[in-house]
Amino acid sequence: MVDAPGPILIVEDNGDTRGALERILGITGYAYVSTGGARAALDYLDRGGTAAAIVLDLEMPGMDGRQFLDELRTNPAWKQIPVIVFSCDPSRADDVAARVRKGSDDPDVLLAALAACGRVPARRPL
């Protein structure tokens, strides 16, 4: 497994959920950067920010997760970044391999999805 440069990029508009994700990643030793929406995440990447993987909410105001993915995949520098889709409604993520439900009482699901990306080193379990 090869470590990719950069932190895990959290793209989540809900402050409580974003904070919970930050706590999970921080406790388990991941570096992370979080944004309150898709446009802010694209701006971060456009300014030269890096990401080993992205944890992406699908349901966001303005630019939603699907629009974010479309834009992400048009940029050759970003299209290889693994994305874990994170949604209240798992049927919205049917076309994406990795799904993590908001409010899951098992943060190890998220950690396993990150480890499965192949670019993110495994970390200690909670």
pLDDT in tens, 103-125: 455 677 788 888 787 666 555 55
Q: Which of 53, 48, 57, 64 is nearest to 112 (CA)?
A: 53
Please tell me whether residue 105 adopts helix, strand or coil conformation.
coil
- For residues 82 and 110, the answer to whether their CB atoms sit within 8 Å is no
CATH classification code of 8-116:
3.40.50.2300
Asked if 77 and 88 count as a contact pair (C-beta separation under 8 A), the reply is no
Asked if residue 35 has pLDDT above 90, the reply is yes
Give the residue-averaged pLDDT of 8-34: 91
User: In the structure, what pLDDT confidence band is assigned to residue 96 with cuts at 50, 70 and 90?
Assistant: very low
How remote is the C-alpha of 104 from its chain's centroid?
15
Six-digit token string for 31: 């570096």
